[in-house]
A and B are shown apart, each in its own frame.
Chain A
């Protein structure tokens, strides 16, 4: 049954139209264009040439792509353990302290830096003969590890550098979560004798679950698209030893001008990010879970 649109409905559509148009033009069109390009051979000039699934075949059969994917997995795992774990620890240790904000604040300062900035600062520290090596030499370590030259050590130290930047914001988010927990169950637990690990395991952790889900979800998405800090510190090298998928995508697209292959990697990365996020958040935030 067709309904006559009321003037109110028309005006409502008029008001949302600019937003819809902007979203369509700025988000959906580029996405569709990228998907299209992933099936073409295109160097950024002239017209894309349709080549079917060739880019995807090339991507999955390239050994370097596998290496990039493994490094990206390392980033996902590493940024879950270090910045999320330390962020939670900082929040737990400071949320009930008077003046705790002054203890958390220093961790937030690096968040103001860009990833490239963090990369430059940390490459001064970690490059051969850099600040860390010089500091170690004072303690008699004359043959320190080659922080940025040997894999997978270079990826591990870059995860630590990234954590230096990211831990503060996670601590802040967890603190907000902790402050939102009602006082009554906490007091009840304390009266029952719970404290320390028991209080955390039985009360705080379950009640933090919705916020943990968001922090972990954001962390997964951010780590899957890791680019700037690696570009700033090793450019993915030596060779391709520390490349991530986002870096491989950038290299193929903008260094090699292989827009088709770069787009195929972008599509793959988008699918992985979406699937990981949806599966994780659906499982964590499912209404049947008790909070």
Chain B
């Protein structure tokens, strides 16, 4: 009798455990191991883009017989933790969005993402993607993931405010400064700034377009944030702050709405911001964009910050082959033209058609002579340093003053990080 009860208790425990596991595993009609057609489970932290991704199903279904079943997360940190956890289960995703730079390197180092060297070789041979972009996806000579998108970081401006103040699109640093001074004297705040998250872009531009080697040195730890040259550059920013060239960092007005209503005249942002402006009711008659002139006019090319977000396949995923098949299609001009129609922004594939004429023109301009691309601060620096830097630039925007204490805090994090790499 006693042993029967013991067995019954054990069975009850097992049943509960099994039920819990079944509950966790979920179920779907998605394709399984080895298949290269069917429904692909796709995860992204860009929940707002879910309709854009799903709009592509018509094209991908027709071209390669694969459709996406998209799960969108709106909290990036929660999403990252979810993806990392998924590698420990049998449910690692067949396709998911991620970040280039340090974050992707971590996945590659652990052998968690599928190699895409063949896909890249074909895409480069076909002229679908630049070799420069391939570098951001290359580790030990092999490629991992494919680019989900690219965005250039440029200056958006309110056309009406420029026209009212007789300002032409600036092509040199001096012209940009003259435009800012003119706007300020007319009672218009020249530039946008904030105290959280997007606080890095002005620093990124000031450093990279003053001395690209200096910026590169920051990414490798060879240059310290407390370097006198960095301090000098920060003092340019401080002078601009003192001149009142930046908007109130404590405002929570949507920057697209704020540009529309003239809270400021210019905003340094990624080209995807065109979609936000459209959402705020601005058309290309209302806003324009231009490549931000280099601080150092002696540079042979104007550096332009580029960000690229990867789309990856987990090496251990049951949908690995399906994910790679979709990735291969994704690189094609047909896919990228369809994606551009659905989503907008510039295209990484020069053979794709960009639907927004202004973005198409900008893409062609940057791809032509006289411009060079550098990785956006967010991806170029290790995550811990980015976190501290964003905080400190935010604090600097809120209370502009001697830049050294802010830089010392960033450098303290950098010292810790680089020491840990040794």
Among the 9-residue stretches B7-15, B26-34, B40-48, B173-181, the one with 4 or more Cβ atoms under 8 Å from chain A is B7-15
> Chain A residues with Cβ under 8 A from B112's Cβ?
45
Since A237-B196, A254-B77 are in contact, a sample of 10 more A-B pairs with Cβ atoms closer than 8 Å, ordered by chain A residue number, is A7-B1, A10-B6, A14-B6, A21-B16, A58-B416, A149-B250, A149-B398, A238-B398, A251-B387, A257-B106
Which residues does A use to contact B, with CB under 8 Å? 5, 7, 10-11, 13-14, 17-18, 21, 41, 43-46, 58, 123-124, 127-130, 146-150, 234-241, 250-251, 254-258
With a CB–CB cut-off of 8 A, which chain A residues contact B383? 255-257
* In the complex, chain B residues whose CB is within 8 Å of the CB of A240: 391, 395
**Bound CA span A239–B392, Å:** 5
Contact A238 B195 (CB under 8 A): yes
A-B contact pairs, 24 of them (CB 8 A): A5-B2, A10-B6, A13-B9, A14-B5, A14-B8, A18-B16, A44-B81, A45-B84, A123-B252, A127-B250, A129-B250, A129-B251, A148-B250, A149-B398, A150-B399, A235-B196, A238-B195, A238-B196, A238-B395, A238-B399, A239-B394, A239-B409, A256-B384, A257-B106
Query: Which residues in A have their C-beta under 8 angstroms from that of B85?
Result: 44
Number of A-B contacts (CB under 8 A): 107
Contact across chains for B394 and A238 when beta carbons are under 8 A apart: yes
B107 within 8 A of A: yes
Q: Give per-residue flags for B103-123: 1 if the beta carbon is below 8 A from chain A beta carbons, else 0.
A: 000110010100000000000
| Chain B residues positioned under 8 Å from A236 (CB to CB) | 391
The answer to whether A237 touches B391 (Cβ under 8 A) is: yes
The 7 tightest CB contacts between A and B, nearest first, are A239-B395, A128-B250, A238-B398, A14-B9, A127-B252, A44-B84, A254-B77
Instruction: Write out, one digit per residue, whether chain B residues 159-203 have a CB within 8 A of any chain A CB (1) or not (0).
Output: 000000000000000000000000000000000000111000000
The answer for the CA separation of A58 and B106 in the assembled complex, in Å, is 23
Name B196's closest neighbour in chain A (CB-CB): A235
- Residues in chain A near residue B16, CB distance under 8 A: 18, 21
Specify which chain A residues have a CB less than 8 angstroms from the CB of B107 in the assembled complex. 45
Q: How many residues on B have C-beta within 8 angstroms of the other chain's C-beta atoms?
A: 43
Interface class of chain A by DSSP: loop
Q: Which residues of B contact A256 (CB under 8 A)?
A: 383-384, 387
Q: How far is the CB of A34 from chain B (nearest CB, A)?
A: 14
* B350 is an interface residue with CB less than 8 A from chain A: no
Residues of B within 8 A of A123 (CB): 252
CB-CB < 8 A to A124: which residues of B?
A: 252
- Complex-state Cα separation, A124 to B87, whole angstroms: 39
Task: Name the B residues within 8 Å of A254 (CB-CB).
Answer: 77-78, 80-81
Residues 127-142 of chain B: 1 if any A CB is under 8 Å from the residue's CB, otherwise 0?
A: 0000000000000000
A residues less than 8 Å from B398 (CB atoms) = 146, 149-150, 237-239
For residue B249, CB closer than 8 A to chain A, the reply is yes
Q: Which of B2, B87, B387 contacts A255 (CB 8 A)?
A: B387
A44 to B253, CA, bound (A): 35
- Chain B residues within an 8 Å CB radius of A241: 395
Give B37 Cβ to nearest chain A Cβ, in Å: 31
List B388-422 residues whose CB lies under 8 Å from chain A: 391-392, 394-395, 397-399, 406, 409, 416, 420
Are A45 and B106 in touch, CB under 8 angstroms? yes
How long is the Cα–Cα vector from A46 to B111 in the complex, in angstroms? 9
Residue of B nearest to A258 (CB): B384
List A contacts of B341 (CB < 8 A): none
Contact of A14 among B12, B249, B251, B409 (CB under 8 A): B12
Interface status of B248 (Cβ within 8 A of chain A): yes
Nearest chain B CB to A222 CB, angstrom units: 22
Q: A10 to B10, alpha carbons, bound, how many Å?
A: 12
Alpha-carbon gap, A257 to B99, bound state (A): 14
- By a CB distance below 8 angstroms, the chain B residues around A146 are 250, 398
- Report how far A250 CA is from B391 CA in the complex, Å: 15
Q: How near does chain B come to A90, taking the closest CB pair, in angstroms?
A: 31
Q: Please indicate which of the listed interface residues B87, B387, B394 has the most CB atoms of chain A within 10 Å of its own CB.
A: B394
